[in-house]
Amino acid sequence: MSEPVRRIAMWSGPRNLSTAMMRAFSSRPDCAVSDEPFYAAYLAATGIVHPMNAEVLASQKQDPHQVAADLLGPVPSGKPVWYQKHMAHHMIDGFPLDWMDHVTNVFLLRSPERVLASYAQKREDVTLRDIGFAEQAMLFDRVADRTGRAPIVVDSEDVRRDPRGTLSALCAAIDLPFIETMLSWPKGQHPDDGVWAPHWYGAIFNSTGFAPPDDKPVALPKHLLAIADQARPFYEKMAAHKA
């Protein structure tokens, strides 16, 4: 009898080491990965225009209920582990959440200031909703309420500071063996990257592993500092539970 599939939903916001974490899991021989499967559904439902908007809409299913059903269906390539990279802000009102009860939910954090400094380099107009902290905290509370305990929380700076130690601890928490191949990957685009990768993933295309942490202070203009202040209570609430 075959082992049950392990489905891991990694919840983050943009510019949060999420693609590097997807690279780490795609480097496991036992793991399939999916890149932001609700992205097209989110754009179609909201009418928000993002870079490469038409390409994103054409590349994925736009019915969120069908996307959710697919995430609980057959795993790409028949692998025993399925890592699903999700943006928390894609889960708008009316999108199904009950599928989350059938996956292992993990929350990936980065400080609001560093998220905003990175995001603003790729897209000029930024709102609190664009970086997803409130939505991430909402999903965090949902998982905690349904399981009776805080879900797993990983800080991106901890990953960058100690990739082997942090990924080993994460793998132990989700009942997977750590595999050394998670620490490196080939340069360039990955076949499972979303069609939007050329706009957003330039640094990842040039990487072969996790970059060391950048400890330099972040200087933000006043309008971004105001957004960081709004996001910080959500960040601190989740960060209190990181391993």
Which residues are within 8 A (CB) of 191 and not within 5 positions of it... i.e. 6 or more apart? Answer: none
Which residues are within 8 A (CB) of 143 and not within 5 positions of it... i.e. 6 or more apart? Answer: 100, 105, 151
User: From the first residue on, what is the mean pLDDT of each consecutive set of 10 residues in the chain (243 residues)?
Assistant: 82 93 98 98 96 97 98 95 97 97 98 91 84 97 97 96 98 97 96 94 94 86 94 97 86
Residue 20 falls within a domain, yes or no? yes
Residue 1 falls within a domain, yes or no? no
Looking up residue 57, the CATH number of its domain turns out to be 3.40.50.300
Q: What is the pLDDT of residue 3?
A: 65
Q: Say if CB 82 and CB 76 are below 8 A apart.
A: yes
Residue 227 falls within a domain, yes or no? yes
* Beta bridge pairs of residue 155: 109
Q: What is the pLDDT of residue 224?
A: 93
Residue range(s) defining the domain that contains residue 44: 6-239
Q: Say if CB 132 and CB 88 are below 8 A apart.
A: yes
Looking only at the bridges linking them, the beta strands covering 6-12 and 81-87 are parallel
How far apart are alpha carbons 191 and 172 in whole angstroms? Answer: 28
Task: Give the number of domains in the chain.
Answer: 1
Nearest to 10 by CA among 23, 227, 2: 23
Q: Which residue has the tokens 């209570």?
A: 233
Q: Which DSSP letter does residue 7 get?
A: E
The Cα angle at residue 62 between residues 34 and 205, in degrees rounded to 5: 35
Residue 107 falls within a domain, yes or no? yes
Q: Which residue has the tokens 């130690």?
A: 165
Residue 61 falls within a domain, yes or no? yes
How far apart are alpha carbons 49 and 143 in whole angstroms? Answer: 30
Alpha carbons within 13 angstroms on the beta-carbon side of residue 203 total 14
Residue 84 falls within a domain, yes or no? yes
Which residues are within 8 A (CB) of 65 and not within 5 positions of it... i.e. 6 or more apart? Answer: 96
Residue 158 falls within a domain, yes or no? yes
Residue 117 falls within a domain, yes or no? yes
Instruction: Pull the structure tokens for residue 159.
Output: 């990953």
